[in-house]
Structure 1
């Protein structure tokens, strides 16, 4: 797996053509209101600050030397062993704080799996000086974002905040490092145990192929090896443990000497050091933690394992044990994986996907601290045996041996690495995360210098050597996942069972642990005051228009030597309303645009783009066909020449069309097995009504896609893919004057002026009903509750409705999520929100919940919505909403994609240049009474659809007792035979108004329909 680098030596930078960080803008610069170009802190002598606390040790200061492009940082170690890394970057008023503990599921024991991840959840449940749920609340109301993640080897916690909230972030992290355990209660333990079970159910047990990695892990690694179970753990282990087990885990692994605190952004190092010493310095050192090292698994023969799942496609996965991350052979193995199955030019794509033997075929090489796993995954079409797939995989390896590694292979791999490296510089959070990871696993935050050198020196001989050493003739774990009742499709009979007879448990790590709290000379219970609010500059931008109607908008930024162009053609699924029998044609058009052009085959186009490190992707949505072009600015001209071919000169080969159509049909059929997809499709069908194109999935149905011909694709492209419906967003180190001539091929684009398909009406909901779709024996249920509300506007009713919903279901600390997740433990997450565009969209409340509490979850959803509609927001909640949304402005414009989204909103909706200022004024002025009126008017709990996808046998009687009419539907959204209900039909449009009087004809005045 390629790792994003954050350091480039100038030797590599010159070879790759990367611009220097201090490169100045072209002659015409953005106005003073624009975000300042991102500049790293100026190089300074590598000396320690004048003042350090007792026991704090200066380790190193990495600065720019000569023309290097690096991420400067300073590194220190406190007396208690805590490592501190600081990166200074004043380009945006943002700070990112990351605390990484060198403990993941690899530190767990047999019978107690899932502890590391479970503990991650507990770290958000309050500490001595931070109340339950306050961590999320404090960060949110400060305008920040936060999260935590756990993997096999580490657990990290992080906040991105406005820079005036630095001290608050450090105070919060220190409090849970040093003062957690007394705040851990049995109730919190039980709620989070239920939440983790829900997470497992949602992401593993109730997800197609969700258990494949679990089967592979316990088959690949010896019994008792810490990688032989997944980070999520086993349900039976979670049921077995108690609060004291959890506390012992914290005491053993969560000491400051096993942690790295990394702080980056708009900060002053001296201030960071002082604050870290204050809040972390007195936390006692924990037990010593030794680096783990285990031998790689040895397979004496191929190990076959299989299981049945509720899936349409069988799946075969082969895993070869390889090397840990940062091993000298890792880069060559990454390159081998890329050549074999990393892109459309790869051997596996050509042999499996292009030849229509499989829907997907990939090769990748994830590497971890203790080992690596060279992985081949093939998803063949239904009915194809996995034994044949295994045979084809081995034949493809032989083909690779004969073909060898080419110069182009290396060029593509290194170009991709270069782009990933630069993209890692896009945000302060990305840079901080990289520094934290490198420091944790290598002890050297500057390790990327070695990584770059390894990529630069990689040769064709290196790649062939690792192939011969780790893959050729070597044994693998072959996992088969087959549809229920189709065991004849497995690659081979199961031949391996984990043997624990010779397992020897390691020494007890948890004896004699004592909880020692820090002793301070200040009051930790006092929340730090925020500094002055940072000044946030909204990106300045230019606008232009081509003679053929294409509108363009862009902003200059030299934060990265890259340019992104987002092209939107406002056709998409919505235009299929003009011929609903061909629903799904827009998605096929998008797919065909990624195939062959008049001058290039699809493989040639992909190869040229990969050698440039560029990408041109095409996708279809409800309202548009979107083209995203990303390139290093040095390669922009060459990339745009390829974009002209892809966008304006598609070849529309019949063979490509048949393959894509077949893939789309299989994808549609596959969705019928996925609870989330079923719930969304049925929900939309009920809301929009029969006859409305938005009631049909973007991909279409089996019936509509079977109707589509290649001529239909060509006709759609000719009729609707028009410059008159097109807009462009450009973000990068290019000015409007420099980029517009480069886009001249778009100015020459001919096309008829096209009107968008008219907005279609939606049926009213007469009363709240429950619509039940049976997903037999599903461990979880998917719930959707809502109605069609309103269309988007930036500063009016829609924007105010978003403010109103924030406390109901728009934040982690919302009423709905706190109730269903944090208080009840019903779900991994619950939410609500409005999603309008230029046409009215729905208000939706949703969650995936444990199956046995489905009825209770619906009761709580309705209770919270009704209570909010009746009683409204509290003064405290209103203040929280204002602070949270108001201060989050600092985080909105940091990256290229954030800037592009901002500009896209302006051009899509014709917004004023100062619309964000108007939003801030609305936010500041909105009163409790107006919020409450919006809640009362926009939350009609008696006129909403409730969709439930779950196990009918265990649910139906419980749902009937809720008092709503329960209507059974099929997975396709059809009414089950015998049910006394007719699916809603899209109402007919109103008669045309008299253009002079704007009055309706007399006979229809009393039959007005609401859109």
Structure 2
């Protein structure tokens, strides 16, 4: 569910209430002055559909959200996963929209779309250029009112496989993927709506049939159980007319009552456990807490922050700082019916979880002596204010907030009440909820330990689920009938689009300081925030100067997030949190980055902290030893992750053993062991220089005002930094399969590709992006439709080019069912070969041009989008008119050009095929393919080679 949004200041809004009548207007909320409120108009249709419209003309985009008040909590025992299953089925076509057309139409319109399911609601949403509003409403109405005849048995079977793949990828085969499922079934009584997860159980998915699924839809997906929220560049009166046209005739479904809260109740600690393919033992303690909206929720949120969020928390101090655990956190998570106060500790390898539990209980008890202070409340409220304001950066964020409050509070303007709830929290409230819900109270205590290491359990299991007290609820599904709307217009005709909106590329200013630092910025006043991004060129590639110490860029960046000369890391974090600001230092392949987020009113204090962080690191030896240990443990952990193994082995093959990019950015155990604190200091002193730094600024500040605040960057001393030259990657003699054994893996990771070319915004690289769009770049691409939608082999498959200033690879990838590994390789190569040989089809060419051509409306909406756009201009020295040049290329490119690009840049006879999977399952079928197979270990070293087939 959505994170709660709160403010530390009292806001008001002008609310006009109108008695419900034929006008269908319920209320109108407007903004007065500079107050932070989301204006909207709320309507009710005769069939029960709630419509909320938010007008925001700052960007030519529209976000449409349909939220149905049904999630996995409406399911029943033996039929879990229905709400999520239907999320998939809602994209499989309806009476007037063909199979896969929903994705295609929205993509072709320059939009993006998705759906999500949780315990309490399911939502479907599109963000499209404003001229495509009617199309989006037509699509959503068609699947609300005209879906079931299009739900066929073959579609049902394919999506059942897709959901199984999703479960395998995100739950069964993911480390710690079953933590939530194990917690839920042991925390709540058997049959409780929250005792299973939204994905459901495989046995339930296998058991159900298509008619079960249709009945679920008929019961819960009526307009009277839905909220339609439309936001963006629209006129409310026009939206109302369109919604009445497309949704007004859809009959109401059966009445739906809100469910009453059902918080969990425990009479003693419940110890449960399972073994997993992991490196770090995990302890998860879960205490029952009240539902979302309960009066005690804000105080429990404060308690969770003090116990286990951030560097000032008790759990961070006792576990992470003292090197007793890799991670330790506490969160109060709430849903419509119940809440869960969860403590999670990921211990170091071979740590007995009994020790972890003992320290966790001591840390909880430490709260009694520490207590709550005014700074705790100040931090919490400042961060809440910042969170709310940043959520308003996009139309989708504002629409989601309105839809959530309407669905669960029956009041889109509930933000005002939320603010009051937060403001009223006192130190006494936090102490009270600690005593009421946590102190001495029983919990579900889950141990997750590596396979074969049951001796690490906190305690032996003492609880099994008791089914004896369960009584099935009333039958919700008998006598349901499917009644379609009767219209006075032809619903089969797709609406025409209005005139394409004029998309304004952000105006920007540029500059260069005497020390070589380059900057670019734009002034935008939609929200009162400022975002800064510093990019220091080099990053991991600088380790090419000393490959024996690869990983040093990452470790140096991590050190800059710790103590400074004037602040401990805890003090620094405290000062940031009180401002609602963030400063984060990280490192990637090509650069070290510093990302700064601040409310406009707190920018000066935030920049003073940035100066401290960037120029006065302390390089504390204790911090270094702790971070080095964590980095080494993280590297060791990668050996348990098939996705990480696949990417690492693939890069080693692409770049060759002597290339720095054949080593992960985190380094290897050997290289990181070599790194000393003096090495980190030298790396910082040698490579952190304004001469290789680019600054991007986006926010509510003018160039003139900004420049007066950047003296500390102008005084930054220049150093002579030589960036490493490009090293040519080895040629690929012929296409081979490289197999890495991952015993008993239920899924296989596949990577296929070769070294392509560097980024070029208006040259051949840009054209290759156009070429790949239909092959593997869009949801409706050939690769994804084949492997996911037609075959059910995977949850998602794709291909892409990823060049930077340096040459980057072309890659096709997917995680697939183990038993379909060889078949997936076959289908990948079939699609690549066909595109290389025969090129693009005319309808695909037009789809690509329409989709990419109209997508510009979504490119510059949020501060981060603007910052990334401007950063690209600076990084690649692009001309101001490069977007126009791209548009000209897009409009003029021909089928012949695309076909020539495919023929030249899809060398199917000279690619690496990497497969990470269970050898005993996948090898026999792979041997039947016409490729030489080379077996590698997890480090990419050869084990054996078969003969050519």
**TM-score band w.r.t. shorter chain:** over 0.9
Mapped to 2, the partners of 1:869 and 1:117 lie a distance apart of: 37
In structure 2, which of residues 531, 549, 572 is the aligned counterpart of residue 582 of structure 1? 549
In structure 2, which of residues 737, 757, 761 is the aligned counterpart of residue 770 of structure 1? 737
Q: Does 1:381 align with 2:348?
A: yes
Q: Does 1:5 align with 2:5?
A: yes
Q: Does 1:522 align with 2:521?
A: no
Mapped to 2, the partners of 1:853 and 1:163 lie a distance apart of: 42
Paired residue secondary structure (2:290): coil
Inter-CA distance 525–12: structure 2 relative to 1 (3 Å threshold): closer
**1:998 match:** none
CA displacement, residues 872-915 of structure 1 (integer Å, 9 cap, x when unaligned): 10111000000000000101001000000110000000000111
Q: Does 1:815 align with 2:782?
A: yes
Q: Does 1:631 align with 2:598?
A: yes
Paired residue secondary structure (1:836): coil
CA displacement, residues 744-787 of structure 1 (integer Å, 9 cap, x when unaligned): 11111113121101111100000001111111101100000000
In structure 2, which of residues 183, 200, 207 is the aligned counterpart of residue 216 of structure 1? 183
Structure 2 counterparts to residues 557-576 of structure 1, below 5 A: 557-576=524-543
Q: Does 1:175 align with 2:142?
A: yes
In structure 2, which of residues 304, 312, 329 is the aligned counterpart of residue 362 of structure 1? 329
Mapped to 1, the partners of 2:76 and 2:614 lie a distance apart of: 55
**How far 1:609 moved relative to its partner?**
0.6
Paired residue secondary structure (2:942): coil
Structure 2 counterparts to residues 117-516 of structure 1, below 5 A: 117-516=84-483
Paired residue secondary structure (2:158): helix
Mapped to 2, the partners of 1:915 and 1:499 lie a distance apart of: 65
Inter-CA distance 68–733: structure 2 relative to 1 (3 Å threshold): closer
**How far 1:46 moved relative to its partner?**
4.0
**1:536 match:** 503
Paired residue secondary structure (1:5): coil
Q: Does 1:745 align with 2:744?
A: no
Q: What stretches of structure 2 of length at least 5 have no aligned partner?
A: none
Mapped to 2, the partners of 1:44 and 1:615 lie a distance apart of: 32
**How far 1:816 moved relative to its partner?**
0.3
**How far 1:712 moved relative to its partner?**
0.7
**How far 1:560 moved relative to its partner?**
1.1
Mapped to 1, the partners of 2:321 and 2:940 lie a distance apart of: 33
Mapped to 2, the partners of 1:623 and 1:760 lie a distance apart of: 14
In structure 2, which of residues 678, 694, 702 is the aligned counterpart of residue 711 of structure 1? 678
Structure 2 counterparts to residues 731-880 of structure 1, below 5 A: 731-880=698-847
Mapped to 2, the partners of 1:11 and 1:473 lie a distance apart of: 36
Contact 1:9 1:70 (8 Å CA) reproduced: no
Mapped to 1, the partners of 2:84 and 2:200 lie a distance apart of: 8
Paired residue secondary structure (1:496): coil
**How far 1:980 moved relative to its partner?**
7.6
Contact 2:261 2:291 (8 Å CA) reproduced: no
Paired residue secondary structure (1:708): coil
**How far 1:12 moved relative to its partner?**
4.9
Inter-CA distance 748–188: structure 2 relative to 1 (3 Å threshold): same
CA displacement, residues 233-280 of structure 1 (integer Å, 9 cap, x when unaligned): 000100000000000000000000000000000000010000000000
**1:1009 match:** none
Paired residue secondary structure (1:85): strand
Contact 2:8 2:422 (8 Å CA) reproduced: no
Q: Does 1:960 align with 2:927?
A: yes
**How far 1:4 moved relative to its partner?**
4.7
Contact 1:162 1:890 (8 Å CA) reproduced: yes
**2:664 match:** 697
Mapped to 1, the partners of 2:816 and 2:92 lie a distance apart of: 21
Inter-CA distance 4–539: structure 2 relative to 1 (3 Å threshold): farther
Mapped to 2, the partners of 1:599 and 1:280 lie a distance apart of: 61
In structure 2, which of residues 890, 904, 914 is the aligned counterpart of residue 937 of structure 1? 904
**2:515 match:** 548
**2:58 match:** 91
Contact 1:2 1:417 (8 Å CA) reproduced: no
Paired residue secondary structure (2:41): strand
**How far 1:294 moved relative to its partner?**
4.1
Paired residue secondary structure (2:708): helix
Q: What is the TM-score normalised by the length of structure 1?
A: 0.92
Paired residue secondary structure (1:11): coil
Q: How many residues of Structure 1 are paired with residues of Structure 2 in the alignment?
A: 947
**How far 1:345 moved relative to its partner?**
1.4
Q: What is the TM-score normalised by the length of structure 2?
A: 0.98
Inter-CA distance 2–885: structure 2 relative to 1 (3 Å threshold): closer
Mapped to 2, the partners of 1:126 and 1:953 lie a distance apart of: 39
**1:28 match:** none
Mapped to 2, the partners of 1:585 and 1:44 lie a distance apart of: 55
Mapped to 2, the partners of 1:452 and 1:364 lie a distance apart of: 20
CA displacement, residues 535-593 of structure 1 (integer Å, 9 cap, x when unaligned): 11100001111111000100000111110100000021000000000000000100000
**How far 1:10 moved relative to its partner?**
6.8
Paired residue secondary structure (2:10): helix
Q: What stretches of structure 1 of length at least 5 have no aligned partner?
A: 14-42, 982-1011
Mapped to 1, the partners of 2:856 and 2:895 lie a distance apart of: 22
Paired residue secondary structure (1:731): strand
**How far 1:972 moved relative to its partner?**
1.4
Mapped to 2, the partners of 1:3 and 1:387 lie a distance apart of: 32
Contact 1:323 1:371 (8 Å CA) reproduced: yes
- Which piece of structure 1 moves more, 457-466 or 511-520? 457-466
Paired residue secondary structure (1:365): strand
Contact 1:4 1:423 (8 Å CA) reproduced: no
Mapped to 2, the partners of 1:964 and 1:204 lie a distance apart of: 32
Mapped to 1, the partners of 2:654 and 2:589 lie a distance apart of: 15
Contact 2:933 2:946 (8 Å CA) reproduced: no
Paired residue secondary structure (1:366): strand
- Which piece of structure 1 moves more, 294-303 or 350-359? 294-303
Inter-CA distance 953–62: structure 2 relative to 1 (3 Å threshold): same
Mapped to 1, the partners of 2:168 and 2:875 lie a distance apart of: 39
**2:890 match:** 923
**How far 1:963 moved relative to its partner?**
1.4
Contact 1:302 1:476 (8 Å CA) reproduced: yes
**2:44 match:** 77
Contact 1:10 1:67 (8 Å CA) reproduced: no
Paired residue secondary structure (2:53): strand
Contact 2:276 2:451 (8 Å CA) reproduced: yes
Contact 1:214 1:230 (8 Å CA) reproduced: yes
Contact 1:56 1:78 (8 Å CA) reproduced: no
Mapped to 1, the partners of 2:926 and 2:407 lie a distance apart of: 50
Mapped to 1, the partners of 2:813 and 2:356 lie a distance apart of: 39
